[in-house]
Amino acid sequence: MAHWRAILLQLKPRTLEIFLLIAVDRFNSKQAASRLGVPAFWVRRHLLKAIEHIDQNPYVA
């Protein structure tokens, strides 16, 4: 669990916020965009950055 925390804390704050809204709170990109007041494509772009960051980490199996 400590590895996950370390990985997620490397994300930029807005990217982490978006990742948590979608992965933990189960928002879809449209809902997250509405909550944050940004376009849905922007949310998807940040989510992709988060996923790529997680995938590149050697501790993630």
CATH number of 14's domain: 1.10.10
pLDDT digits (tens, 9 = 90+) for 1-33: 788 899 999 999 999 999 999 999 999 999 999
Residue 2 CB neighbour total at 10 angstroms? 7
Residue 58 CB neighbour total at 10 angstroms? 6
- Confidence at residue 11, expressed as pLDDT on a 0 to 100 scale: 97
Q: For residue 20, what are the domain limits? A: 2-55
Tell me how many domains the chain contains: 1
- Confidence at residue 58, expressed as pLDDT on a 0 to 100 scale: 81
Indicate whether 61 belongs to any domain: no
Q: Are 12 and 50 in contact (CB under 8 A)?
A: no
Indicate whether 34 belongs to any domain: yes
Q: What is the mean pLDDT of residues 33-41?
A: 98
- Confidence at residue 61, expressed as pLDDT on a 0 to 100 scale: 62
Say if residue 59's pLDDT is above 90. Answer: no
Indicate whether 60 belongs to any domain: no
pTM for this prediction:
0.88
